[in-house]
């Protein structure tokens, strides 16, 4: 008998366990929050540490250490990862693909990208955390043009939310590359720390949010499940792999 995991309790426990029992920031309203079915997942995320909390100071120190030790290759990789796209996610994982063939799979992943962007934006505007390079006394020199961030709050990491969702979906499509894809999820998030624009806890929260959205898509989104077999065939074809399509509703979702 095929079983599907119920993600809600497990993810809620993850949200509690990873967050240290330190003082937490309030959740002020710093921006408008659109109505979205994904807003329920924000409740799985613990509020971030306050700007002057010891945990934030420790995270800022970690980012300064990363900045001091980052190699030119790490910097180039982090700069490339500023791009949010399926192609960049695969390329950063060193997974070869036919770009023209992959483009034909775009509509399926564009919908997921829109979903993570909306959920991430609403979460950011719920918690309103200050970016690390903006804190008083910060010596960080971001690799990303901060004007491109448009004053968006720091928590959670939108890139990590996207990478976790896309990586989890791809892991179902490409089970033979699952370990590689899960490693890429972690790498995609770390790039935001190397770039000096996110704390570690921003990245951790992005993983929780992205995993929650992925679990909901496989369990409850009928449009997603109907499109999944065709998208799987498309992606496997773009990677030159034999088609092994199976219905999304029969998949057991594994979380990185």
Average pLDDT rounded to a whole number, residues 100-117: 94
* 43 within domain boundaries: no
User: The domain spanning residue 154 has which CATH number?
Assistant: 1.20.144.10
Rounded to whole angstroms, how far apart are CA atoms 17 and 58?
Answer: 19
User: Which residues, 6 or more positions from 249, have their beta carbon under 8 angstroms from its beta carbon?
Assistant: 4, 218, 225
Q: Encode pLDDT of 9-20 as tens digits.
A: 344 334 333 433
Q: Is the per-residue pLDDT at 252 higher than 80? A: no
Do the domain assignments include residue 256?
A: no
Q: Across all residues in the chain, what is the average pLDDT?
A: 85
| Span 191-249, pLDDT tens digits | 999 999 999 999 999 999 999 999 999 999 999 999 999 999 999 999 999 877 554 44
Residue 157 is part of which domain span? 55-250
Look at residue 50 and tell me if it is in a domain: no
The answer to pTM > 0.85 is no
- Whole-number Å distance between alpha carbons of 140 and 1: 53
Q: How many domains does the chain have?
A: 1
Q: Establish if 238 belongs to a structural domain.
A: yes
**What are 45-89's pLDDT values in tens digits?**
999 999 999 999 999 999 999 999 999 999 999 999 999 999 999
Asked, for residue 85, whether it belongs to a domain, the answer is yes
Classify residue 149: in a domain, yes or no. yes
In whole angstroms, give the CA distance from residue 121 to residue 208: 15
Reported as a single tens digit per residue, the pLDDT across 168-192 is 999 999 999 999 999 999 999 999 9
pLDDT at 43: 84
**Over residues 101-130, mean pLDDT:** 93
Q: Note whether residue 15 is domain-resident.
A: no
Percent of the chain with pLDDT over 90: 71
Tell which residue, 134, 164, 130, 131, has the closest CA to residue 44: 164
Per-residue confidence (pLDDT) for residue 254, from 0 to 100: 53
5 found inside a domain:
no
């Amino acid at each position: 008998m095929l079983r599907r995991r119920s993600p809600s309790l497990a993810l809620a426990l993850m949200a509690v366990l990873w967050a240290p029992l330190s003082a937490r920031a309030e959740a002020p309203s710093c921006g408008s929050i659109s109505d979205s079915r994904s807003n329920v997942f924000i409740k799985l995320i613990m509020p971030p540490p306050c700007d002057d909390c010891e945990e934030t100071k420790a995270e800022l120190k970690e980012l300064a250490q990363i900045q001091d030790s980052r190699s030119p290759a790490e910097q180039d990789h982090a700069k490339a990862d500023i791009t949010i796209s399926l192609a960049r996610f695969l390329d950063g994982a060193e997974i070869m693909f036919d770009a023209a063939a992959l483009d034909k799979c775009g509509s399926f992943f564009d919908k997921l990208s829109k979903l993570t962007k909306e959920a991430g934006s609403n979460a950011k505007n719920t918690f309103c955390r200050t970016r690390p390079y903006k804190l008083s006394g910060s010596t960080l020199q971001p690799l990303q043009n901060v004007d491109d961030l448009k004053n968006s709050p720091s928590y959670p990491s939108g890139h990590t939310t996207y990478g976790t969702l896309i990586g989890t979906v791809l892991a179902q499509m490409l089970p033979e590359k699952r370990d590689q894809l899960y490693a890429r999820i972690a790498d995609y998030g770390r790039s935001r720390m190397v770039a000096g624009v996110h704390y570690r806890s921003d990245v951790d929260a992005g993983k929780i949010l992205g995993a929650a959205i992925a679990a909901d898509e496989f369990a409850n989104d009928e449009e997603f499940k109907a499109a999944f077999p065709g998208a799987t065939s498309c992606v496997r074809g773009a990677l030159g792999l034999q088609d092994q399509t199976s219905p999304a509703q029969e998949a057991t979702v594994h979380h990185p």
